[in-house]
Amino acid sequence: MQLRRRSFIKYASLAAAGNLAGMRPFGALNALAATTPDYKALVCIFLYGGNDANNMVIPTDTAGYGRYSSVRTAGGSSIALAQNTLLGLNGVNYGLHPSLPEIQSLYNSGAAALITNVGTLTQPLTKAQYQAGTANPSNLYSHPDQQEEWQNAAASGVTTTGWAGRVSDVLSGSYNTSATIPMVTSVAGDTLFCNGVSTTPVSVSPGNLGGASCSEGSECSARQTAAQSLITFNSGVSLITADDHITSNAYSYAATLTAATKSVTPLTTVFPATGLGAQLKQISQIIQVRAALGVQRQIFFCGIGNFDTHSNQVALQASLLSQISPAMLAFYNSTTEMGIANQVTSFTMSDFARTFQPNSNTGTDHAWGSHHIVFGGAVKGGSLYGTFPSLVLGGTDDSGTNGRWIPSTGSVQYAATLASWFGVPANQLATVFPNIGTFATANLGFV
């Protein structure tokens, strides 16, 4: 089997160079800003439920595919994808799920990369260490816990902040000094990812950017004034105070976003009419008016659910991947249309991968290390990063016997790489990612 494995050690020198670049930034950046406004955005696309990455990136060489196919076929049924349906990736013996043609094109054009066997870790972990159980992430295989651990990239399971929020905490003083909305925007509700110590996100409902509607004609203004005065009264009840705070922010953000987008010319990029398509379209529109919002750095969160394919996996996953793939390409195209493809980097996260071994109900169960997609003009694409699991049940990559891969790359490294590109200085990385120092590198080099 001819695996193309990119060792991280190979990238250590590049990572160091990146760090150096990060330490001399402001003169250079400001010079650049004179002609090209200094703007960067990160976009997180969360695949809720645990995407079966084992059916997303598949070995295409004979031995590799054979191993894949034989494990995923059992008890008279199979969830293995036919070899001749896999979408080829330039230069590697891996193929993509047939529902991802747009991702294939992004990859093959160099705008997308695949990061393999990434997962929640508090430190690099061998199978022996896993079995000893002293350094394992908490509540492996639990949806909400693993979602949180991907989103917080922290040293322990339970935190009140996510890594986007903490990045914003660190960078809001350097960038966005005249911003009228927070650095972090969610178009998929509030999530841990977005919350920092001093950061709360602006939430936006896709397609509903404006303020509240009012049918009272000339009395609308007076009604709003009265409503807004009510949220200033002290009640003595903590939850009322909390809701007053949220509502107060809502009035403010709605006014800001309405004003910023009022006369903007819509982008011509067409987004698919799906939930994720609408979310990414909304993100594009907000990026489009970045100057009016006074933002130089933005992190966006969007998501799509139902990846928890315990049953009927082949059809369900195909349906879901066929939603994300065109939406991602449309989003990339919109950044090209805006001329900022190199300034926007998008990436997937998900609870976990799924058991390589199928269950008796045409599905798969909760697992661990997974493969993820990163795309954007700045991405060093067209490559697979990380160490692909050996796909051997009970092997050294398997935490047990069902193909729940021990991640070879920590999700915190994945996050730190993105955060470094975004502008978090090397000397601040440990502030954002407390356990990044336990890993060999903080920069995987894919962007």
Site for other proteins in 242-301 (CB under 8 A): 242-247, 249-251, 253-254
For residue 231, the one-letter residue type is I
Residue 211 binding other proteins, by CB under 8 A: yes
User: How far apart are CB 63 and other proteins at their closest, in Å?
Assistant: 19
CB of 212 to other proteins, least distance (A): 3
- Look at residue 93 and give its three-state secondary structure: coil
Per CB under 8 A, 146 contacts other proteins:
no
- Find how far residue 279's CA is from the centre of its chain: 14
CA dihedral 196, 194, 11, 59 (to 10 degrees): 150
Phi/psi region, residue 370 (left: phi>0; alpha: psi -120 to 50; beta: rest), is beta
Q: Which of residues 73-102 bind other proteins (CB under 8 A)?
A: 73-76
Residue in 135, 231, 318, 338 binding other proteins, rule: CB under 8 A: 231
**Are the beta carbons of 47 and 309 closer than 8 angstroms?**
no
Q: What does the alpha-carbon distance between residue 136 and residue 123 come to, in Å, rounded to a whole number?
A: 8
Judged by CB under 8 A, the residue of 23, 63, 230, 392 near other proteins is 230
Residue type, 59: P
- What is the secondary structure of 271-307 as a DSSP string? PPSSHHHHHHHHHHHHHHTHHHHT-SEEEEEEEE---
**Which amino acid, residue 250?**
A
The mark string for 152-181 relative to other proteins (x by CB under 8 A, - otherwise) is: --------x---------------------
**By CB under 8 A, which span of 67-75, 115-123, 171-179, 322-330 interacts with other proteins?**
67-75
From 61-69, 120-128, 238-246, 283-291, span contacting other proteins (CB under 8 A): 238-246
Residue nearer to other proteins on the CB measure, 116 or 357? 357
127 binds other proteins (CB under 8 A): no
Q: Is 331 in the site for other proteins (CB under 8 A)?
A: no
Of the candidate residues 178, 213, 263, 265, the single one contacting other proteins (CB under 8 A): 213
- Shortest Å, Cβ 415 to other proteins: 19
The tokens for 297 are 């750095």
* β-strand partners of 112: 375
Give the max Cα distance, the chain: 74
| 363 in contact with other proteins (CB under 8 A) | yes
> Which residue among 102, 149, 365, 398 contacts other proteins (CB under 8 A)?
365
